[in-house]
Amino acid sequence: MVHPDTAAGAGQGGLSPAGGAPPSPSHRGARLRRRARAVAGLVLSLLLTLLGLLLVTFVIGRVMPIDPVLKVVGERATQAQYEAARIAMGLDKPLWQQFLLYMAEVLRGDFGRSISTGHPVAQDLRRVFPATLELATLGTLIGVCVGVPLGVVAAARRGGWIDQIARVVALVGYSMPIFWLGLMGLLLFYGILGWVGGPGRQGIIYDGMVPEVTGMILLDSLLAGDWAAFRDAFGHIVLPASLLGYFSLAYVSRMTRSFMLEQLSAEYVTTARVKGLSERRVIWGHAFRNILVPLVTVIALSFASLLEGSVLTEIVFSWPGIGQYITKALLAGDMNAVLGGTVVIGTCFVVLNLLSDILYRLLDPRAK
């Protein structure tokens, strides 16, 4: 039997050793060099993307019609105080030097001090980001657990009533404004029925009672064994997470259906059916396994979208996450906080894209 690596080398124009012998050192060296180039390409792509992100945020901070010096010293400051603050902030230097200083500070995790809170922006972000992470994670879980099976069944029964429901769900999910759904959800499930908690992460009675370990209330209350606090936190998060999950569901189900339709029309599916395999095994054992690779990318992008796109949800539900933090900072002209939050969200998006690319290469043998 021919060694797989040898076969791979032969397919690329090399001569395979006879009798299934192990690959020669030259073949192993070529494979290592290819893998090293692939890793180097991924790292270089990541660094260039992060550099572009820093450049964009730097430019935004400079073109915004907000004077950062005036925000620091106040409108009653003298000209001498204004100039001293301007020099201290490095704004008297050429733009390229300002960008290098900005990049060095960001790489150290220093985003400056927030004018709104008076705290370092990095400290504020460490406080608010777990709330957004918790909300986006639960929303993604809801979207995946419902959207993937819905998309698979809709594709398997194309044209049926389940397929029609999936299309309507996706259409409404793409069309309805999330802030309107949030307000209607609060009115119905909180104001009228009283099934869920109100705005915020917890009721006033539980505020500060759970020791903060991860910053995510559900996980921290479980670690503390405080079931009353867990139920209260779950009652507050279930509605906003369900709304985000609905939008994730619309995207995931639509893409799953599209991927499955492509696989179900392939020749290997017809061959499997002719051989007498059950429809369940054909769908879930063969077709679904072949869509796992692109589906991982879809789920990663959906998660990243919820991390950066939960601003309106956080505002409607008074959720103290990074989206609400950036919005309040923008209204207050607090550009350090705005740019720091933008860099964090952009970095999360870039890292999730990189992870999905790595998983793609690991799960799909053809990508190797």
Please give the domain boundaries of the chain with CATH numbers for all domains.
Answer: 121-367 (1.10.3720.10)
| Residue 15 in this model has a pLDDT that exceeds 50 | no
What is the rounded distance in angstroms from the CA atom of residue 268 to the CA atom of residue 82? Answer: 73
Counting other chains too, the contacts that 319-324 makes at CB distance below 8 Å and 24 or more residues apart are: 319/131, 319/132, 319/135, 319/199, 319/200, 319/201, 319/240, 320/128, 320/131, 320/200, 320/201, 321/128, 321/129, 321/131, 321/132, 321/135, 322/125, 322/128, 322/129, 322/131, 322/132, 323/132, 324/128
**Mean per-residue pLDDT, 241-264:** 91
Lowest mean pLDDT among 15-24, 60-69, 276-285, 286-295: 15-24
How confident is the model at residue 14, as a pLDDT? Answer: 43
What is the rounded distance in angstroms from the CA atom of residue 44 to the CA atom of residue 227? Answer: 47
How confident is the model at residue 367, as a pLDDT? Answer: 54
Confidence of residue 208 (pLDDT cuts 50, 70, 90): confident
Where is pLDDT greater, at 36 or 182? 182
**Mean per-residue pLDDT, 85-97:** 77
What is the rounded distance in angstroms from the CA atom of residue 117 to the CA atom of residue 151? Answer: 45
CB 16, CB 4: distance < 8 Å: no
CB 335, CB 117: distance < 8 Å: no
| Residue 16 in this model has a pLDDT that exceeds 50 | no
| Residue 282 in this model has a pLDDT that exceeds 80 | yes
Lowest mean pLDDT among 173-182, 232-241, 293-302: 173-182
